DNA sequence: GAGATAATTGATATTTTGTATCAATTATAG
DNA sequence: CTATAATTGATACAAAATATCAATTATCTC
């Protein structure tokens, strides 16, 4: 799991340090949607002495490599989602901010078409559907 | 333009105040991707005395109504995008963070299908494609 | 229109997030 | 094992977001 991330770092010339390993493990095992400081908390439960800065920097690094994405979910902090599979799909209630993940993906060749036209090499995507959930619509 | 937003507020029982009008006007005329503090700057060039808090609160209000969305683009602050047309599409370089908008939209009936299954009333969506732009791939 | 009422405002203070710096440490190449 | 350069983490700082509350103001009722 997190081995893939470690390898991705090593492949691109980044060092795989003890701190980074703990951070990656925690990230993968906990799943997505953590903020940087929440992750720092969890990391510190496993290995004391890991600084907040290191967590922030590791997250930035993964984002720069396209393996992670920051998303904003209303609270003042960025939440991070893993892009291991290359895509992520959210259904978000704009009234209560709840976030539900779903798997269905029907983009077809859209990414490739757009990418080709603009000279991008596409790595993944995020699709967020916004609406009002049943409970919020009721009240 | 911003009249639609004003009407949306009025319809749902929110007051259309002078401050809110200026904020909505500025938001619509400038287009998207502003942070709260950038918007505050612009708003204050038009009408002095409008507080930062009011801008933040108005943005929150619009987000809660599904008319606006906060997105995170790497800088520490949330950027806001208007959801007037119901959808928004970004092509984002994960290396240099540049954001390009595109129009093509090929979701078909996916939103309706997912929404139906989970009891959501869908209002819009955001599709973000992640990749590496030509310049970053070259270097 | 004028007054009552409740939403809204904005100044201020505070908390939370994110960034910069730099000496000490540590992973890797040779 | 050593040299070297990336990485770390403590500290300090800057920026962004939230809480509070008296003063103001839009709307409703008459």
Q: Transcribe A110-122 into DSSP letters.
A: HHHHHHHHHT-EE
Query: Which of chain B's residues have a Cβ under 8 Å away from the Cβ of A110?
Result: 104, 106
ipTM beyond cut 0.85? yes
Examine the domain organization and report whether B10 and B32 are in the same domain. yes
- Given A59, A82, A105, the domain boundary residue is A82
Per-residue pLDDT of chain B in tens (139 residues, 90 and over written 9): 778 899 999 999 999 999 999 999 999 999 889 999 999 999 999 998 999 999 999 999 999 999 999 999 888 999 999 998 889 999 999 988 899 999 888 788 888 888 889 899 999 999 999 999 998 887 5
Of A36, A51, A82, the position where a domain reaches its end is A82
pLDDT value, residue A130 = 94
Q: What range does the domain containing A100 cover? A: 87-138
Asked if A13 and A66 sit in the same domain, the reply is yes
Token representation of residue B61: 């209000």
* DSSP bridge partners of A80: A34, A70
Determine the average pLDDT of the residues in A87-98: 92
Residues B99, B89 contacting (CB under 8 angstroms): no
A124 and A70 in a common domain: no
The DSSP output letter for B110 is H
> Do both B72 and B49 map to the same domain?
yes
Same domain, B8 and B73: yes
- A113, A72: one domain: no
Same domain, B39 and B54: yes
- Output the domain CATH number for residue A28: 1.10.10.10
HSE value, Cβ hemisphere, 13 Å, CA-based, for B125: 24
Number of domains in chain B: 2
Site from B129, B135, B136 to mutate, A interface, most A CB atoms within 10 angstroms = B129
Strands B121-132 and B87-93 turn out to be parallel
């Amino acid at each position: 799991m997190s081995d893939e991330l470690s390898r991705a770092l090593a492949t691109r010339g980044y060092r795989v340090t003890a701190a980074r390993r703990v951070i990656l493990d925690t990230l993968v095992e906990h799943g997505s949607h953590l903020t940087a400081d929440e992750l720092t908390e969890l990391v510190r439960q496993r290995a004391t002495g890991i600084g907040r800065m290191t967590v922030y920097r590791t997250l930035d690094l993964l984002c720069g490599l396209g393996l992670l994405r920051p998303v904003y979910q209303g609270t003042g902090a960025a939440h991070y989602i893993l892009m291991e599979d290359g895509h992520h799909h959210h259904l978000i209630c704009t009234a209560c901010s709840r976030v539900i993940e779903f798997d269905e993906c029907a983009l077809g060749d859209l990414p490739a078409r757009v990418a080709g036209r603009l000279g991008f090499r596409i790595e993944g995507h995020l699709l967020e559907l916004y609406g009002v959930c049943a409970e919020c619509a009721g009240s």
